[in-house]
Structure formats: C-alpha cells, structure tokens
Amino acid sequence: MTTASKITLARVALIPVFMVLMLTGHDLLALVVFIAASLTDFVDGYIARHYDQTSDFGKFLDPLADKLLVTAAMLIFIQWGRMPAWMVMLVLSREFAVSGLRMIAASGGKVLAAGWSGKVKTFATMVGLCVMIVFNSSVIDAAVILVITVTTLYSGVEYFVKNWNVIKP
C-alpha cells in the first residue's frame, strides 16, 4: 500500500473521531481533527502525484474519503438544525452524478480529471464547515450555506457541460 493511500485511510479513520468530538461538545478538538483530515486531502494528492504513487485504490478511496468527511459534518449540522437537508441533498446529488459520469467515462477507457471549479468547491466547503464549527451564528450559517450551494451548482454544471460527450446520445 502506498504512503498516499495510507494517508487517505487516516482521513477515513479520523471521521468517527471528528463526529464523536462534535457530538460531545468538544468543538475545538473537533475543529482540529476536521482541519487535519481536510489537509490530508491535499497531502495525499501531492504525494501520489509527486512520488508516482497513484493507484486504482487511491483513485477510489480519495474522493470517497472527502465525501464521507464532508457528509459527516453536514449531517451533524442538519441534526442541530443549522443546515437544511435540501442543501445537503443537493451536494450529495452533485457528488453521485459526477461519480456516475466518471464511471461511464471509465467504462469507455476515459479518465475525467477534476476541474478547477470542483477544487474551489471542495476548498470552500471545507473552510465553510470549519467556520460553522467555530461560530454558531445563523448569519454565518446562511452565508456558508449560500457559498456551498453556489459552488456546488456551478462546479456540477461545469463538469457536465465539459464532459457531455461522455453521455450524449
């Protein structure tokens, strides 16, 4: 197993730790764990590319780990009434749709790279969730929800427009 994949697995292992800390009121420690887990996304990607450690396992696990981490935080905020379920459904729908498009492309021997807007969406989402962990404010929550919604919609639409040839009849 590559170093990059081990780092990705560490991110997955941090998710239940993050959730327990959040749900037991240890927000500062939860924030540290969430930031550490978020940063592993950049570290594992850098190591995989820089040291030629890309693997099918890593290509599968890395985006899954990101989605699980973000979903865990969002579900907690839904539980606490700070995030609307419709917005999380929108985020999850975009992720499933993009993953489906990637699977179709892969079945035809094509690899669809992540676009710049997807990276901005991921960064904005992770930073926004950090802000929500730190500040319990309906104004800040609304701003974060708006940013996540807009970046999710934009990146999803852009991804499908750029890759429409994969599924067009």
pLDDT in tens, 99-145: 999 889 888 888 887 789 998 999 999 999 999 999 999 999 999 99
Superfamily, domain 3-166: CDP-alcohol phosphotransferase transmembrane (TM) domain (1.20.120.1760)
Question: By C-alpha distance, which of 127, 110, 104, 116 is closest to 154?
Answer: 116
Q: What long-range pairs does 59-62 form, CB within 8 A, spacing at least 24?
A: 61/5, 61/8, 61/9, 61/12, 62/8
CA separation, residue 57 to residues 48, 104, 117, 122 (Å): 11, 18, 24, 21
Residue with token string 């901005």: 120
The model carries a pTM of 0.92
Structure confidence by residue, pLDDT tens digits, 43-88: 998 999 999 998 888 888 988 999 999 999 999 999 999 999 999 9
